Structure 1
Amino acid sequence: MAGRTIADIEKIWANVEGVKKLSDRVIGIGPVGFGMDALLTWVPVVGTAYTVGTAGWLMWQATRARATPAVLARMAAYMAVDTATGTVPLAGDLVDTFFPGQLLAARALQKHIEATHWVEDNEAAARASGDHERHLATVRDDPKLKRIVYLHD
């Protein structure tokens, strides 16, 4: 995989935010939101195609951001429920209108990105220079951080 920069990760986060809003929060009424997913679910085939397409795109972004298998599984579960409910006529469409699958999957990825200490270097170089210990200390000292990712590995 080609080396990435922190700016690339920030762009992934922003792109995911855009899909989250377009799919499930164009119109927000308190905690409930509606977007393209809720609207298109009532159009046979088109709604399913939209849901599957956004699911694939979100999973691709997660892969680009080096999400862990657990995050990928959580995202896939949200999107599978969203896709499955949308394929059931009427009752499923009604559930899909209110189930924010893309929003939940996007939030899972964004939280994962925010819980990562990103380093524009490779691990071998960081270990050789002694910077790896400093990165470990940063993760230990910040309760929001859970892992280190070297973007040039």
Structure 2
Amino acid sequence: MGLPLGRDPESIRQRVLAMEHLLERSFIVPGINRPVGLDALVGLIPVAGDVIGAILGSYIIWEARNLGMSKWQLGRMAGNLAIDTALGAVPLAGDLFDFLFRANTRNVRIIKRHLDKHHPVIEQ
């Protein structure tokens, strides 16, 4: 069973949550028991890794746009991703920043607040 392909808010919610999990929390670092994701791992590859992370993170913003979120919200999300990409490109310190800042988690939080307000999940 895969992710829903619909354009309805609940399908979008499930997809952005899955992408955020993949990018930010898909692995546990042994010894420190801290989750990391694909964003932090590809960020270890100089320059190209940060570009790949930005492309993957922009999917979450694209889905937010499909929800009809405001330009202000989309701008905040783009800013989070831009900060993550720019500072993540700094060797070594950028990798630590990627590990701590988690722009995709911040962006999903913005989407969840929008969805909870405009498209609340109705329990059956």
For 2:40 and 2:53, how far apart are their aligned partners in 1?
10
The two structures have a TM-score, normalised by structure 2, of 0.78
Q: How has the CA–CA distance of structure 1 residues 93 and 69 changed in structure 2, closer, same or farther, with 3 Å as cutoff? A: same
Displacement, 1:83?
A: 0.6
CA contact (8 A) 1:71 1:112 kept: no
Cα gap change, 1:94 to 1:117, in 2 (>3 Å): closer
Give the superposition deviation at 1:7.
6.3
Q: Which amino acid aligns with 1:20?
A: E
Aligned partner of 2:17 in structure 1 is: 17
Paired residues for 1:30-41 under 5 Å = 33-41=35-43
CA deviation map 1:96-121 (0-9, x unaligned) = 12221111111111211111058xxx
Q: Which residue of 2 aligns with 1:53?
A: 55
Contact map agreement 2:58 2:81 (CA 8 A) in 1:
no
Which string of whole-angstrom CA distances, capped at 9 and with x for unpartnered residues, describes residues 94-147 of structure 1?
Answer: 2112221111111111211111058xxxxxxxxxxxxxxxxxxxxxxxxxxxxx
**In the TM superposition, what are the counterparts of 1:2-151 in structure 2 within 5 Å?**
8-27=8-27, 33-117=35-119
Tell me if the contact between 1:51 and 1:82 (Cα under 8 Å) persists in the aligned partners.
Answer: no
In angstroms, what is the RMSD of aligned CA positions? 2.4
Q: TM-score if structure 1 supplies the norm length?
A: 0.65
| Deviation of the 1:10 alpha carbon | 0.9
For residues 56-88 of structure 1, give each alpha carbon's deviation from its aligned partner in whole angstroms, at most 9, with x where no partner exists. 211210110000122112211211111111111
User: How far is the alpha carbon of 1:19 from its aligned partner?
Assistant: 0.8
Tell which structure's C-alpha radius of gyration is larger. Answer: 1
Stretches (4+) displaced over 4 A: none
Report the secondary structure of 2:8's partner residue: helix
Query: Using a 3 Å threshold, how does the CA distance of structure 1 residues 28 and 114 change in structure 2: closer, same or farther?
Result: farther
Partner SS state of residue 88, structure 1: coil
Number of aligned positions between the proteins? 113
Does the CA contact (< 8 Å) of 1:39 and 1:97 recur in 2?
no
Same amino acid, percent of matched pairs: 32
Q: Which runs of 5+ in 2 are unaligned?
A: 1-5
